[in-house]
Amino acid sequence: MLLVYFVFVTGVILLAVGVWGKVSLEAYFSLAAEESTNAPYVLIGTGAIIVIFGLFGCFATCRGSPWMLKLYAMFLTLVFLAELVAGVSGFIFRHEIKATLDNVYKNAVKNYTSTDSKNPVDTIQRNLHCCGVYNYTDWNNTKYFQEKGIPVSCCKDDDNCSPETLKDLAKAENVVYTTGCFALVSTTMENNLGIIAGISFGIAFFQLIGIFLACCLSRYITNNQYEMV
């Protein structure tokens, strides 16, 4: 039963990490939809399946059924492979971020429109306290700036940002974040994906222990049955 409880807990952890990764990186993934990693989705699916099949493992252990325990070990093997996929995917995308994010973020700023209430550029600028790609003056080369100036999401305090101020780079320097978002976004994604990948590999290692123990328990029960006969 301790084995099943342990595997069940790892499933809950994977599910929680997957949801956290999906929520915390939502804005970044929406920018690079085609190049983004599926690691959080893999963890959510794997974690949910582990939690559900944990009941099967509990039933197999209580029944002391060798074939059920072997089936459970096979299931844990598939889970182990899924976790490896999530971990490798996270690490690979983690090191490809800067190569793909530069052009993606430049295009997002260039094609920016404030009509989208969930625009990822606004979300990133508010959350990371940054503005533009490399600095706030990047907005000067956009169509949006010619019409409305720098986006309000760059403002340190919305009450101090008037439309006239946002249309003047010299005046805006004192009321908006001047640091660019590219470096901050890259660092944030690298750190978060590193956490996701690390947890995936760590739990995958413990899944190997679970597979080994399930096989040992199945063999032990089988040997006892032969001795009784």
Where is pLDDT greater, at 47 or 1?
47
> What secondary structure, in 3-state letters, does the chain show?
CHHHHHHHHHHHHHHHHHHHHHHHCHHHHHHCCCCCCCHHHHHHHHHHHHHHHHHHHHHHHHHCCHHHHHHHHHHHHHHHHHHHHHHHHHHHHHHHHHHHHHHHHHHHHHCCCCCCCCCHHHHHHHHHCCCCCCEHHHHHHCHHHHHHCCCHHHECCHHHCCHHHHCCHHHHCCCECCECCHHHHHHHHHHHHHHHHHHHHHHHHHHHHHHHHHHHHHHHHHHHHHHHC
Cα(183)–Cα(185) distance, rounded to whole angstroms? 6
List CB contacts of 21: < 8 A, sequence separation 6 or more: 39, 40, 43, 192, 193, 196
pLDDT(30) > 70? no
Encode pLDDT of 65-81 as tens digits: 777 777 777 887 887 78
Encode pLDDT of 80-139 as tens digits: 787 777 777 767 766 666 667 777 888 888 888 766 556 788 888 998 999 999 999 999
Q: How many percent of the chain have pLDDT more than 90?
A: 10
pLDDT at 113: 78
pLDDT at 12: 77
Cα(197)–Cα(90) distance, rounded to whole angstroms? 5
pLDDT(198) > 90? no
Cβ neighbour number for residue 22 with a 10 Å cutoff: 16
Where is pLDDT greater, at 36 or 143?
143
pLDDT tier, 34 (very low <50, low <70, confident <90, very high otherwise): very low
pLDDT at 194: 77
Range in 101-110, 128-137, 181-190, 211-220 the model is least confident about: 211-220
- Give me the residue label for tokens 């760590």: 202
Q: Are 210 and 6 in contact (CB under 8 A)?
A: yes
Cα(160)–Cα(123) distance, rounded to whole angstroms? 19
Q: How many percent of the chain have pLDDT more than 70?
A: 74
Q: What angle do helix axes 182-228 and 2-24 make, rounded to 10 degrees? A: 160
pLDDT at 228: 43
Encode pLDDT of 128-178 as tens digits: 999 999 999 999 988 899 888 999 999 998 888 888 889 989 889 899 999
pLDDT at 38: 61
Q: Are 36 and 96 in contact (CB under 8 A)?
A: no
List CB contacts of 150: < 8 A, sequence separation 6 or more: 131, 136, 139, 166, 167, 169, 172, 176
